[in-house]
A and B are shown apart, each in its own frame.
Chain A
Amino acid sequence: MTIEQTMKSFPKPSQIEVPAGAEGWEDLYPYNLVFDNAPGGDEKFWFCDSQHWPTVFKPFETIGGEFAVKCLGQYNTRHLLIPPANGIEFKIHLGYLYMSPVGVPEEEIAARVPEFERRAGHYFQNWDSLLEAWHSKVRATIDEMEDLTFEALPDAVPFDDIVSGKAMDGSQVLMENYDRLIALLYRNWQYHFEFLNLGYLAYLDFFGFCKDVFPGIPDQAIAKMVQGVDMELFRPDDELKKLAVQAVELGIQSAFDDTDDVEGTLRAVRDAGGEEWLVAYEAAQDPWFNFTVGNGFYGHDKYWLEHQDIPLGYIKDYVRRVDDGQDIMRPVEHLLAEKERIIAEYRELVSPELQAQFDAKRGLAATAYPYVENHNFYIEHWAMGVFWRKVRELAGVFVEAGFWADPADMLYLNRNEVRDAIFDLVTGWAVGAESTGPHYWPAEIERRRVIIDALSTRRPQPALNTPPAQITEPFTMMLYGITTEQVQQWLAGDEGSEDGAITGMAASPGVVEGLARVITSADQLGEVQEGEILVATITAPSWGPIFGKIRATVTDIGGMMSHAAIVCREYGLPAVTGTGSASTTIVTGQRIRVDGNAGRVEILQD
Chain B
Amino acid sequence: MMARPLRILLAKPGLDGHDRGIKVVARALRDAGVEVIYTGLHQTPEMIASAAIQEDVDAVGLSILSGAHNVLFPRVVQLLREAGADDIVVFGGGIIPEDDIPGLEAAGIRKVFLPGTSLAEIVRWVQENVRPRGVTV
A complexed with B: no
| Chain B residues with a Cβ under 8 A of chain A | none
Residues of A within 8 A of B (CB): none
